[in-house]
Structure 1
Amino acid sequence: MDAGLAVQLATSAATTLVAAAATDAWRSARSGFARLLGRGDPHAEEVAGRRLDALADEVVDAPADQREEVRQQALATWQVRLSDLLEERPEDAEPMLVLLEEVQTRLPPVQQQGVQHITAAAPGSFAQGVMFGNVVNHPVPVRDGRNEDSDRSPL
């Protein structure tokens, strides 16, 4: 699996996992991620379950106005754990993606998140994107049949 895609998947999965803590989606998230992290080993699944329980406890125990901050702090830890999992076992990418989609459908609408990935790969190209807003492009003035930016060197 491409390293960039693995990081994107791990980030999306960690974001979804952390968002699920202290919601009705938690049971499904906890059991699925414990199974995934346990890799078929009952002891490893139990250890993963304890880590997941600690995450949920942190979020539940936080005052309501600080829960989002607690989630953000936990996010980095889970991004690393899930990235490591995909690095060691790239074949877990598909089950992780299925689990991610399942948990996302169970999240309350306020915590469902949109993720947008934009890539520009050609020399001199650029990419733009926006979610829940607008992109406004202004044409580049044309001079002698070429646009004014064409004679500038790329960054």
Structure 2
Amino acid sequence: MDPEITALAASAGTALVTALATEAWQSASAGLVTLWRRVLPERADAVEAELDATRDDLLDAHGEGDHETRAELAAEWQGRIRRLLSAHPEAAGELRALLIDPQPQPPAAPAVTQHATASGESRVYQAGRDMHLGPR
């Protein structure tokens, strides 16, 4: 067994399970599923379902104060990732990139363009966000 693959799988499994308990879970999950879809497309849907189940198990365990489940889930994913990398070592670079930058860059805030025309004694009130009229 290649020690570099083993170390990468260990890091990835731990990082994945940690991310699944945070708001970054969708990004982490999507990144791993994309990798799987490229390397083993026939397993990608199952991996996606397993990630969702892992997240559910992790959140349930956290709610019950069970700290051992996190380590068990990380070990499961370390094994899955190690087997994937052993069969497809060319995927190691893509996995490393996911570990370095797990979240895609957020989209830029949409530009707000407003146009209004008033005639006579009419008034136009425009706001790009909250607007409060009248006394407070």
The corresponding residue for 1:37 is 36
Aligned partners of 1:102 and 1:85: how far apart in 2? Answer: 20
Highest Rg: 1 or 2? Answer: 2
Gaps of 5+ in 2: 105-136
The corresponding residue for 1:136 is none
Gaps of 5+ in 1: 106-155
| Cα separation, partners in 2 of 1:67 and 1:38, compared to 1, 3 Å | farther
| Cα separation, partners in 2 of 1:70 and 1:52, compared to 1, 3 Å | same
The corresponding residue for 2:122 is none
The corresponding residue for 1:78 is 77
* TM-score, scaled to structure 2: 0.68
| Cα separation, partners in 2 of 1:38 and 1:59, compared to 1, 3 Å | same
| Cα separation, partners in 2 of 1:66 and 1:29, compared to 1, 3 Å | same
- Contact kept, 8 Å, 2:13 with 2:77, in 1: the verdict is yes
| Cα separation, partners in 2 of 1:4 and 1:104, compared to 1, 3 Å | farther
**Which letter does structure 2 place at the counterpart of 1:49?**
E
Structure 1 segment 130-141 matched on structure 2, within 5 A: none
Cα deviation for residue 43 of structure 1 reads: 4.0
The corresponding residue for 1:96 is 95
SS of the equivalent of 1:103 reads coil
Where relative contact order (Cα < 8 A, 6+ residues apart) is larger, the structure is 2
The CA RMSD measured in Å over matched residues stands at 2.4
Residues 89-142 of structure 1: per-residue CA shift (max 9 Å, x gap): 00000000001112389xxxxxxxxxxxxxxxxxxxxxxxxxxxxxxxxxxxxx
State the aligned residue count.
105
